[in-house]
Amino acid sequence: MCGIIGIISKCNSNVVFDIVNGLEKLEYRGYDSAGVVVVGDNGLQRLRTVGKLKNLEDKLKVNPISGAIGIGHTRWATHGKATEENAHPVLTKDVALVHNGIIENYKELKSDLLQKGYKFESQTDSEVAAVYLQMQLDNGFDPREAFRKMLRAVKGTYAFLVIFKNRPDMIFCARNKSPMAVGFGKDVCVGSDASSISANCSEIVYLDDGDYAEVTKNGATFFDNDFKVVDKCRVAVTDDLINTGKGGYSHYMIKEIMEQPSAIRKTLLSNDVPEAFFDNISRILILACGTSYHAGLVGKYWFEKYLRIPTHVEIASEYRYRSPVIEDNTLVLVITQSGETIDSLEAMEYVKKNNSTCRLAAISNVLNSAISRSADCVFHTEAGVEVGVASTKAFTAQLTVLAKLAFSKNSKLLSQLQNLPQACEDSLLLKNDIDKIAYKIKDCVNAIYLGRDSLYPIALEGALKLKEISYIHAEGFAAGEMKHGPIALIDDVVPIICLCPSGDMFDKMFSNIQVAQARGKNIILFTDSVGAGSFDGSVEKIILPSINQELYPILYSIPLQLLAYVVTVLKGEDVDKPRNLAKSVTVE
Ligand code: AGP
């Protein structure tokens, strides 16, 4: 999952800095290297650096380049290490190209090109597309014919942006499974998402899979998979699509953690569940990855308890490869923040292809995303743009939608949801207490998270938050499962983070903690005022506001997010752009 952007200035001004600003909005998609190409007085001028965008900005100060049309790229390495040779844009004698996706047949194309005498600089699959274009130009085809031939030759996923030296006024763009938006405003732009081009555009068009476009400063011509001209509808660039920056916070993640009460409030105001939504539904299948998968696990507890509908939660990347049985009249819920996770998209398409009686719903944070557009209906998590790679506000907004769905036949519980925003506000006030805990565990090598019932997925999520940004190896367990093996991990040092509020599961969880406490010394408890009374001073306690126990998964996620955030800041790691990760995984 890389970030790509192209800008054509309508008034012939230098686009380099707008491209870099756009790349800054796209760094969440990958930050192994960055680069830009512009069409300057001496043809195609390129600058690339390894590492984060800041390195490219520094290099540009020393080696400025200028042009009124250009393309840029920020990389998450798939083929070939994070080196300058493998950085995009890829350049041949007459072609500049950036790519997000994976060319699955790059090896056969590359060997054919090598046999024809073409040379390669990098180990990337993307370079094969650029050299293929060069070959077609050398064979006498014009840029349009060369570009179309390349689209027919490559197999796999792509969002390509290409500038040809002898067509310096045009950017050729093509999309298959990797997101791309074309924008119109003071400039004409193309980007991986709306946010990256929102500073230069007021309207956008989302390309569909198989589409390609020829973009100039006068506008764009769109073509479908058969290269027939097609009309595409424009949508306004609205606030919920725009990354408004850190707003005075030191990191996007803490800003987004703090935005959760308002995100939950907005999500509660929309997403009303149609009365007949669950009519004729015999089972629910939830498909998701990562944090969104954890939301799905909570959904299972709620759906089965309150709707009495059998619910299965599947890791999307595993689902379609195990020849699953897809029962008729299944409601398929795809949960996703980005709406572009290819594992989830492909799992959804698999269901679509194999059982037409299923209804496909998406819980998504990006309305015009691939998954949203492929679903029969969308529940929009009103969290706003989420930039921090570790998902926070989108997660609790997903849980809020799942609660509205699961409680849709229980008016008492539905009304309880109105207490959530305030309880979340109050839990954010615990940050000073959490700072102390974070200070205690920041140097630990491992951490254990324990929860039961619908807090078991939150133990998994708390562990994921800590491991993905602080790099401490953390693992979540169902507390009752500890005695079946994981208890061997307990020693005097490892922090054992226990979610144990009062309620139906308290006694069971309390005894699981006693078993842990008999073997370990570093027990950290997240509970409420009622639960806290049962524990002596030997455990560290974080006391959360009281709330209906059905809503615990949403409320108890917040202090765990804060804990992961503070530990990471104390460790001096990169909170918003953790190593090896990217925000949206658009490659399998
Ligand atoms: C979130 O903290 C993780 N970075 C990651 O697991 C993420 O939840 C997963 O990649 C799914 O992304 P999606 O919600 O955009 O589909």
pLDDT confidence of residue 238: 79
Cα distances from 378 to residues 192, 239, 270, 336, 381, in angstroms, run 21, 19, 11, 11, 9
Name the pTM for this structure: 0.84
Indicate the top mutation candidate among 29, 292, 584 to test ligand 1's pocket, ranked by most ligand atoms within 8 A of CB. 292
For ligand 1, say whether the CB of 74 is within 6 Å of any of its atoms.
no
Supply the range of the domain harboring residue 270: 248-427
Same domain, 169 and 315: no
Q: Cα–Cα distance between 403 and 395 in angstroms, integer? A: 12
pLDDT confidence of residue 418: 95
SS3 65: coil
Whether the pLDDT of residue 4 is over 90: the answer is: yes
Same domain, 422 and 437: no
Same domain, 376 and 462: no
Whether the pLDDT of residue 263 is over 80: the answer is: yes
Q: What is the position in ligand 1's atom list of the atom closest to the CA of 390?
A: 2
Same domain, 120 and 259: no
Residue positions annotated with a catalytic role: 2, 583
For ligand 1, say whether the CB of 338 is within 6 Å of any of its atoms.
yes
Whether the pLDDT of residue 538 is over 90: the answer is: no
pLDDT band at 244 (very low <50, low <70, confident <90, very high): confident
Whether the pLDDT of residue 243 is over 80: the answer is: no
585 assigned to some structural domain? no
Q: Cα–Cα distance between 358 and 130 in angstroms, integer? A: 41
Q: Determine the distance separating the centroid of ligand 1 and the alpha carbon of 549, expressed in angstroms.
A: 26
E strand or H helix that includes residue 264: helix 260-269
CATH number for position 165: 3.60.20.10
Query: Which residue from 291, 273, 386, 388 is spatially nearest to 331, judged by alpha carbons?
Result: 273
Same domain, 219 and 279: no
pLDDT confidence of residue 368: 81
Rg of the chain's alpha carbons, rounded to an integer? Answer: 25
Q: Determine the distance separating the centroid of ligand 1 and the alpha carbon of 401, expressed in angstroms.
A: 17
pLDDT confidence of residue 271: 86
Whether the pLDDT of residue 82 is over 90: the answer is: no
Q: In one letter, which amino acid is 295?
A: A
Q: For 568-586, what is the mean pLDDT?
A: 88
pLDDT confidence of residue 363: 98
SS3 469: helix
Whether the pLDDT of residue 367 is over 90: the answer is: no
Residue pLDDT, tens place only, 273-321: 999 999 999 999 999 999 999 999 999 999 999 999 999 999 999 999 9
Last residue of a domain, one of 407, 427, 447: 427
Whether the pLDDT of residue 557 is over 90: the answer is: yes
Name the percent of the chain lying above pLDDT 70.
100
Q: Cα–Cα distance between 149 and 100 in angstroms, integer? A: 19
Whether the pLDDT of residue 404 is over 90: the answer is: yes
Same domain, 88 and 198: yes
Q: What is the position in ligand 1's atom list of the atom closest to the CA of 291?
A: 8
Q: For 543-564, what is the mean pLDDT?
A: 97
Same domain, 256 and 300: yes
Q: For 391-406, what is the mean pLDDT?
A: 98
Same domain, 268 and 383: yes
pLDDT confidence of residue 581: 85
Last residue of a domain, one of 362, 394, 427: 427
The phi, psi pair for 9, rounded to 5°, reads -75, 130
Whether the pLDDT of residue 443 is over 80: the answer is: yes
Whether the pLDDT of residue 61 is over 90: the answer is: yes
Domain count, the chain: 3
Name the percent of the chain lying above pLDDT 90.
87
Q: Determine the distance separating the centroid of ligand 1 and the alpha carbon of 51, expressed in angstroms.
A: 22
Strand 212-216's sheet: what is its strand order?
A: 90-91, 95-100, 158-164, 167-176, 212-216, 219-223, 229-230
Whether the pLDDT of residue 76 is over 90: the answer is: no
Q: What is the position in ligand 1's atom list of the atom closest to the CA of 398?
A: 14
pLDDT band at 261 (very low <50, low <70, confident <90, very high): very high
pLDDT confidence of residue 384: 92
For ligand 1, say whether the CB of 341 is within 6 Å of any of its atoms.
yes
Whether the pLDDT of residue 241 is over 80: the answer is: no
Among positive and negative, which fits the CA dihedral 186, 190, 192, 193?
positive
Q: For 93-114, what is the mean pLDDT?
A: 96
Q: Cα–Cα distance between 368 and 374 in angstroms, integer? A: 10
Q: Whose CA is nearest to atom 7 of ligand 1?
A: 290
Q: Cα–Cα distance between 303 and 306 in angstroms, integer? A: 5
CATH number for position 375: 3.40.50.10490
Q: For 411-436, what is the mean pLDDT?
A: 95
Q: Cα–Cα distance between 200 and 191 in angstroms, integer? A: 11
Kindly report the average pLDDT of the chain as a whole number. Answer: 95
Residue pLDDT, tens place only, 153-186: 999 999 999 999 999 999 999 999 888 999 999 9
